[in-house]
Structure 1
Protein backbone atom coordinates (compact mmCIF):
# COMPACT_ATOMS: atom_id res chain seq x y z
CA UNK A 1 0.00 0.00 0.00
CA UNK A 2 1.29 3.46 -0.87
CA UNK A 3 1.62 6.05 1.84
CA UNK A 4 -0.12 9.26 0.92
CA UNK A 5 1.85 12.45 1.07
CA UNK A 6 0.11 14.98 3.30
CA UNK A 7 -0.22 18.42 1.75
CA UNK A 8 -1.39 21.63 3.33
CA UNK A 9 -4.89 23.00 2.98
CA UNK A 10 -3.46 25.90 0.97
CA UNK A 11 -1.75 23.54 -1.50
CA UNK A 12 -4.93 21.52 -1.83
CA UNK A 13 -6.84 24.73 -2.52
CA UNK A 14 -4.27 25.83 -5.11
CA UNK A 15 -4.51 22.52 -6.97
CA UNK A 16 -8.30 22.65 -7.01
CA UNK A 17 -8.32 26.32 -8.07
CA UNK A 18 -6.03 25.52 -11.01
CA UNK A 19 -8.35 22.68 -12.00
CA UNK A 20 -11.38 24.98 -11.88
CA UNK A 21 -9.62 27.62 -13.98
CA UNK A 22 -8.57 24.98 -16.51
CA UNK A 23 -11.94 23.22 -16.71
CA UNK A 24 -14.41 26.10 -16.38
CA UNK A 25 -12.32 28.97 -17.67
CA UNK A 26 -11.92 27.64 -21.21
CA UNK A 27 -9.78 30.63 -22.18
CA UNK A 28 -11.77 33.21 -20.23
CA UNK A 29 -10.87 34.79 -16.93
CA UNK A 30 -12.51 33.67 -13.70
CA UNK A 31 -12.81 35.89 -10.63
CA UNK A 32 -11.96 34.90 -7.07
CA UNK A 33 -15.69 35.04 -6.35
CA UNK A 34 -16.47 32.56 -9.14
CA UNK A 35 -13.71 30.15 -8.15
CA UNK A 36 -14.54 30.35 -4.44
CA UNK A 37 -18.21 29.65 -5.18
CA UNK A 38 -17.33 26.49 -7.10
CA UNK A 39 -14.91 25.31 -4.41
CA UNK A 40 -17.09 26.52 -1.52
CA UNK A 41 -14.18 28.28 0.21
CA UNK A 42 -13.48 31.71 1.64
CA UNK A 43 -12.69 34.39 -0.94
CA UNK A 44 -9.99 35.90 1.27
CA UNK A 45 -8.18 32.57 1.74
CA UNK A 46 -8.41 31.83 -1.98
CA UNK A 47 -7.12 35.32 -2.85
CA UNK A 48 -3.96 34.73 -0.80
CA UNK A 49 -3.35 31.41 -2.55
CA UNK A 50 -3.99 32.96 -5.96
CA UNK A 51 -1.39 35.69 -5.26
CA UNK A 52 1.23 32.98 -4.78
CA UNK A 53 0.18 31.27 -8.02
CA UNK A 54 0.48 34.58 -9.89
CA UNK A 55 3.96 35.24 -8.43
CA UNK A 56 5.05 31.75 -9.49
CA UNK A 57 3.81 32.32 -13.04
CA UNK A 58 1.17 29.59 -12.97
CA UNK A 59 -1.70 32.01 -13.55
CA UNK A 60 -2.08 35.49 -14.97
CA UNK A 61 -4.35 38.02 -13.33
CA UNK A 62 -5.95 41.27 -14.37
CA UNK A 63 -8.22 43.73 -12.60
CA UNK A 64 -11.38 45.39 -13.75
CA UNK A 65 -14.75 44.42 -15.16
CA UNK A 66 -13.25 41.76 -17.42
CA UNK A 67 -10.53 40.81 -14.95
CA UNK A 68 -9.81 37.59 -13.17
CA UNK A 69 -7.47 34.66 -13.44
CA UNK A 70 -6.43 32.55 -16.41
CA UNK A 71 -3.74 29.89 -16.73
CA UNK A 72 -0.43 31.46 -17.76
CA UNK A 73 0.74 28.21 -19.35
CA UNK A 74 -0.76 24.90 -20.38
CA UNK A 75 -2.18 22.72 -17.64
CA UNK A 76 -0.05 19.84 -18.94
CA UNK A 77 3.10 21.76 -18.04
CA UNK A 78 2.09 22.04 -14.36
CA UNK A 79 3.10 19.42 -11.82
CA UNK A 80 1.62 18.80 -8.40
CA UNK A 81 5.10 18.99 -6.92
CA UNK A 82 5.74 22.44 -8.39
CA UNK A 83 2.41 23.75 -7.06
CA UNK A 84 3.00 22.37 -3.56
CA UNK A 85 6.57 23.70 -3.56
CA UNK A 86 5.36 27.23 -4.36
CA UNK A 87 2.49 27.24 -1.87
CA UNK A 88 4.21 25.56 1.08
Structure 2
Protein backbone atom coordinates (compact mmCIF):
# COMPACT_ATOMS: atom_id res chain seq x y z
CA UNK A 1 0.00 0.00 0.00
CA UNK A 2 1.24 3.47 -0.80
CA UNK A 3 0.15 6.62 1.00
CA UNK A 4 -0.14 9.97 -0.73
CA UNK A 5 2.25 12.80 0.12
CA UNK A 6 -0.81 14.55 1.63
CA UNK A 7 -1.00 11.79 4.25
CA UNK A 8 2.79 11.58 4.68
CA UNK A 9 3.03 15.32 5.41
CA UNK A 10 -0.03 15.20 7.67
CA UNK A 11 1.49 12.42 9.72
CA UNK A 12 4.76 14.35 10.04
CA UNK A 13 2.89 17.42 11.29
CA UNK A 14 0.95 15.36 13.81
CA UNK A 15 4.12 13.59 14.98
CA UNK A 16 5.61 16.99 15.82
CA UNK A 17 2.41 18.22 17.44
CA UNK A 18 2.28 15.04 19.57
CA UNK A 19 5.71 15.92 20.97
CA UNK A 20 4.20 19.03 22.63
CA UNK A 21 0.43 18.44 22.70
CA UNK A 22 -0.41 21.55 24.74
CA UNK A 23 1.42 23.91 22.38
CA UNK A 24 0.01 25.62 19.30
CA UNK A 25 1.89 25.07 16.02
CA UNK A 26 1.61 27.38 13.03
CA UNK A 27 1.69 25.94 9.53
CA UNK A 28 4.58 28.33 8.79
CA UNK A 29 6.60 26.82 11.63
CA UNK A 30 5.84 23.25 10.56
CA UNK A 31 6.54 24.06 6.90
CA UNK A 32 9.94 25.48 7.84
CA UNK A 33 10.82 22.52 10.06
CA UNK A 34 9.99 19.93 7.39
CA UNK A 35 10.96 22.08 4.37
CA UNK A 36 7.49 21.73 2.85
CA UNK A 37 5.03 24.07 1.18
CA UNK A 38 3.12 26.19 3.71
CA UNK A 39 0.14 26.29 1.34
CA UNK A 40 0.07 22.50 1.07
CA UNK A 41 0.32 22.09 4.85
CA UNK A 42 -2.52 24.58 5.33
CA UNK A 43 -4.79 22.36 3.23
CA UNK A 44 -3.78 19.32 5.28
CA UNK A 45 -4.35 21.19 8.53
CA UNK A 46 -7.79 22.25 7.30
CA UNK A 47 -8.74 18.61 6.60
CA UNK A 48 -7.49 17.57 10.05
CA UNK A 49 -9.51 20.38 11.65
CA UNK A 50 -12.66 19.40 9.74
CA UNK A 51 -12.23 15.86 11.05
CA UNK A 52 -11.86 17.10 14.63
CA UNK A 53 -8.28 15.89 15.06
CA UNK A 54 -6.85 19.38 15.47
CA UNK A 55 -8.29 22.73 16.43
CA UNK A 56 -6.95 25.91 14.87
CA UNK A 57 -6.80 29.25 16.66
CA UNK A 58 -6.07 32.62 15.09
CA UNK A 59 -4.07 35.49 16.51
CA UNK A 60 -1.25 35.81 19.01
CA UNK A 61 -0.66 32.52 20.77
CA UNK A 62 -2.71 30.78 18.11
CA UNK A 63 -1.86 27.88 15.87
CA UNK A 64 -3.08 24.32 15.67
CA UNK A 65 -3.40 22.03 18.69
CA UNK A 66 -4.50 18.45 19.04
CA UNK A 67 -8.12 18.10 20.21
CA UNK A 68 -7.33 14.96 22.21
CA UNK A 69 -4.29 13.50 23.94
CA UNK A 70 -1.90 11.86 21.43
CA UNK A 71 -2.62 8.47 23.03
CA UNK A 72 -6.28 8.82 22.04
CA UNK A 73 -5.65 9.48 18.33
CA UNK A 74 -5.30 6.27 16.35
CA UNK A 75 -3.09 6.24 13.25
CA UNK A 76 -5.76 4.39 11.27
CA UNK A 77 -8.18 7.24 11.96
CA UNK A 78 -5.67 9.79 10.68
CA UNK A 79 -4.91 7.79 7.54
CA UNK A 80 -8.62 7.31 6.81
CA UNK A 81 -9.17 11.09 7.10
CA UNK A 82 -6.18 12.07 4.98
CA UNK A 83 -6.64 9.34 2.36
CA UNK A 84 -10.39 10.00 1.98
CA UNK A 85 -11.25 9.92 -1.71
CA UNK A 86 -8.01 8.13 -2.66
CA UNK A 87 -8.87 4.66 -3.91
CA UNK A 88 -6.29 1.91 -3.43
CA UNK A 89 -6.94 0.81 -7.01
CA UNK A 90 -9.02 2.34 -9.77
CA UNK A 91 -11.91 -0.10 -9.41
CA UNK A 92 -12.44 1.02 -5.77
CA UNK A 93 -13.00 4.62 -6.84
CA UNK A 94 -15.95 6.41 -8.41
CA UNK A 95 -16.72 4.88 -11.77
CA UNK A 96 -14.97 1.67 -10.73
CA UNK A 97 -17.92 -0.28 -12.07
CA UNK A 98 -16.56 0.49 -15.54
CA UNK A 99 -13.90 -2.20 -15.07
CA UNK A 100 -13.95 -4.68 -17.93
CA UNK A 101 -13.28 -7.64 -15.64
CA UNK A 102 -15.70 -6.66 -12.86
CA UNK A 103 -17.88 -9.60 -11.95
CA UNK A 104 -15.20 -12.20 -12.55
CA UNK A 105 -12.23 -10.50 -10.85
CA UNK A 106 -10.94 -12.36 -7.80
CA UNK A 107 -8.32 -9.75 -6.96
CA UNK A 108 -10.70 -7.04 -5.72
CA UNK A 109 -11.83 -8.96 -2.62
CA UNK A 110 -8.23 -9.70 -1.66
CA UNK A 111 -7.21 -6.06 -2.05
CA UNK A 112 -10.17 -4.94 0.10
CA UNK A 113 -9.10 -7.43 2.75
CA UNK A 114 -5.49 -6.22 2.61
CA UNK A 115 -6.63 -2.59 2.89
CA UNK A 116 -8.74 -3.42 5.97
CA UNK A 117 -5.82 -5.31 7.54
CA UNK A 118 -3.47 -2.38 6.87
CA UNK A 119 -5.82 0.10 8.55
CA UNK A 120 -6.57 -2.29 11.41
CA UNK A 121 -2.84 -2.57 12.08
CA UNK A 122 -2.53 1.22 12.12
CA UNK A 123 -5.47 1.35 14.55
CA UNK A 124 -3.29 -0.51 17.06
CA UNK A 125 -0.94 2.49 17.26
CA UNK A 126 -1.48 6.07 18.34
CA UNK A 127 0.19 9.42 17.80
CA UNK A 128 1.82 8.97 21.22
CA UNK A 129 3.62 5.91 19.83
CA UNK A 130 5.20 7.89 16.99
CA UNK A 131 5.65 11.37 18.54
CA UNK A 132 8.91 13.01 17.54
CA UNK A 133 11.36 13.79 20.31
CA UNK A 134 11.03 17.36 21.50
CA UNK A 135 13.60 19.62 19.80
CA UNK A 136 16.60 20.42 21.97
CA UNK A 137 16.96 24.12 22.78
CA UNK A 138 20.49 25.47 22.56
TM-score category, normalised to shorter length: 0.7 to 0.9
Displaced runs of 4+ in structure 1, greater than 6 A?
Answer: none
Q: 1:1-88, aligned counterparts within 5 Å?
A: 5-23=1-19, 25-88=20-83
Query: Partners of 2:81 and 2:21 in 1: how far apart?
Result: 24
User: Would you say how many aligned residue pairs link Structure 1 and Structure 2?
Assistant: 83
- Asked whether the 8 Å contact 2:9–2:41 carries over to 1, the reply is yes
The TM-score with structure 2 as length reference comes to: 0.57
Structure 2 residues without counterparts, runs of 5 or longer: 84-138
Aligned Cα root-mean-square deviation (Å): 1.1
Post-superposition Cα deviations, 1:6-50, rounded to whole Å, max 9, x if no partner, equal 111101111110011111x34121111111111110000000000
* Structure with max Cα Rg: 2
Structure 1 residues without counterparts, runs of 5 or longer: none
The TM-score with structure 1 as length reference comes to: 0.87
